[in-house]
Amino acid sequence: MKYILKKMTVLMVLVGFISFMTAVSFNGVEAKSERLMIQGDHGALSAVLQTPDKVQSYPLVILMHGFSASKDYKLLELTAEYLEKAGIASIRFDFNGHGDSEGRFQDMTVPNEIEDAKKVYAYAKALPGVTNILLVGHSQGGVVASMLAGELTEQYGNDAVKGLVLLAPAANIVDKTIGGAFFGVQFDTDTMPEYIELPSGLHVGRDYFKTAYSLPLYDTAKLYTGPVTIIQGKEDTVVPPRYAQRFVEIYKHSTLEIVEGYDHEFSQNMPAIARGIVQSVQQDVNRTDDTDLKINSYLNEIRLFFEKIIEVLDKVKAFLAGLS
């Protein structure tokens, strides 16, 4: 009998430990993590929902990964963890054909990823306790997030998306497609085969490239009028910083952070970038009026003005150097 009681005591301790691991308390806020499936555009999407426990209401951030990545991208995991600690919920998910989600990678396009994200947004919006929804996207996920924010604003109004954070948004996917080169693979866009095989072995379907031709990226993105934070690695060779600058030009209320020494994946210090993301989210959540947005808008206009002056001066300098 004593042996059985001893075993039961050990079992209860183990159960308590497991419960502790699935509901860890940070700064007085407990957090829960739940794996779920959400019906997407090309099948079920694998997702992780993380919510602060014992809190009646909270904002939620939808985290979107890039091309051929997944919800397990370390930067998104860290961001979700830090958001939890700040009492903010998050959903990160695998787009169709990626990670644990259904669908073929070959059938993936930016438009159907936007449809996937809309389904996740609808799921998040229906959750009890969610007060606001914000979007964070990396690389191609940044393109999806920017266009999703524009479409949701047009459909539901300015309150549809509380804030937007773009991490090295891969707007150059259009340039690479039109230019006939994609991740080092050359092809004739006029006689395009059913798919292109990348050096990694992944098959990118014909529809991916064809939809990129007419992707209304900037026209759709600029429909969103809320706050935007763009974080871009200066040493990014996958998506050059000039594409981040293009986003700054179309948004009325944006902040661009060029981080020295960082690559496309922000691999040099992901925790620091994750903390920066959370700080931007917190600022957007706590925003109660448009005063800060107007100030940022004026500052961006001034900065763009001086950047254009510097560009002209550099051209004049090069011209004079040529004469000598």
3-state secondary structure of 312: helix
3-state secondary structure of 25: strand
What local confidence, expressed as pLDDT, does residue 24 receive? 39
3-state secondary structure of 187: coil
Torsion, CA 90, CA 95, CA 101, CA 105, rounded to 10: -160
Q: Residue 189 has what DSSP assignment?
A: G
The dihedral through the CA atoms of 101, 102, 106, 110 has a sign that is negative
Torsion, CA 100, CA 105, CA 111, CA 116, rounded to 10: -10
Stretch among 116-130, 142-156, 251-265, 286-300 having the lowest mean pLDDT? 286-300
Which pair of tokens denotes residue 231? 């974080």
Question: Tell me: the pLDDT tens digits for 188-226?
Answer: 777 888 998 888 899 999 999 889 888 999 999 999 999
How far apart (Å, rounded) are the C-alpha atoms in residues 40 and 100? 13
3-state secondary structure of 185: strand
Residues 6 or more apart whose CB falls under 8 angstroms from that of 178 comprise 189, 212, 213
Asked if the model's pLDDT at residue 256 lies above 90, the reply is yes
- Does residue 60 contact residue 128 with C-beta atoms inside 8 Å? no
What local confidence, expressed as pLDDT, does residue 161 receive? 98
**CB half-sphere exposure, 251, CA atoms < 13 A:** 30
What local confidence, expressed as pLDDT, does residue 55 receive? 87
Which pair of tokens denotes residue 272? 């620091």
Asked if the model's pLDDT at residue 31 lies above 70, the reply is no
Asked if the model's pLDDT at residue 311 lies above 90, the reply is no
Which pair of tokens denotes residue 162? 């509380």
Kindly list the domain boundaries of the chain, sorted by start residue.
27-170+222-285, 288-324
Burial of 172 (0-12, 13-18, 19+ CB in 10 A): middle
What local confidence, expressed as pLDDT, does residue 21 receive? 38
Asked if the model's pLDDT at residue 322 lies above 50, the reply is yes
CATH for 27-170+222-285 is 3.40.50.1820
Question: Tell me: the pLDDT tens digits for 57-114?
Answer: 999 999 999 999 999 999 999 999 999 999 999 999 999 999 999 999 999 999 999 9
- Does residue 231 contact residue 167 with C-beta atoms inside 8 Å? yes
Q: Which of 50, 100, 120, 97 is nearest to 78 (CA)?
A: 50
Structure confidence at residue 248 as a pLDDT band (50, 70, 90): very high
- pTM for this prediction: 0.81
Structure confidence at residue 291 as a pLDDT band (50, 70, 90): low
Nearest-5° Cα angle at 75, 130 to 136 = 40
What local confidence, expressed as pLDDT, does residue 18 receive? 33
Question: Tell me: the pLDDT tens digits for 8-29?
Answer: 333 333 333 333 333 433 444 4
Range list of β-strands (E), 28-79 = 29-40, 43-53, 58-64
- Does residue 188 contact residue 180 with C-beta atoms inside 8 Å? yes
